[in-house]
């Protein structure tokens, strides 16, 4: 697998982790009768920072691999 494929997979992993963060906050807040943005932000704070950090790390790695793959393709031409 080339660098662009690995980079795309890491970007996908980042998106899945970020979706997991929002879904877990929504599940946590499922028993609430009224919704608003500030209440959902409080629900996101209960999920912690681990998923956010892992998503950012996966995104940075993915962008790095994508950039490296594109740079190698440009160097070949």
According to the model, what pLDDT value does residue 38 have?
A: 87
What's the whole-number average pLDDT of the chain? 92
Q: Once rounded to an integer, what is the mean pLDDT over residues 14-25? A: 96
Q: What is the pLDDT of residue 5?
A: 93
CA separation for the pair 70, 75 (Å, rounded): 9
Provide the number of structural domains found in the chain.
1
Measured from the Cβ of residue 2, the count of other Cβ atoms closer than 10 Å reads: 12
pLDDT of residue 34: 83
The per-residue pLDDT for range 39-61, each reduced to its tens digit, is 889 889 988 899 999 999 999 99
| Res 13 pLDDT > 90 | yes
What range does the domain containing 36 cover?
3-76
């Amino acid at each position: 697998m080339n660098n662009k494929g690995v980079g795309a997979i890491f970007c996908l992993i980042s998106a899945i982790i970020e979706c997991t963060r929002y879904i877990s906050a929504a599940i946590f807040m499922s028993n609430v009768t009224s919704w608003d943005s500030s209440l959902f932000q409080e629900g996101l704070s209960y999920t912690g920072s681990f998923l956010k950090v892992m998503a950012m790390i996966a995104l940075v790695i993915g962008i790095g691999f994508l950039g490296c793959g594109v740079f190698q393709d440009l160097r070949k031409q």
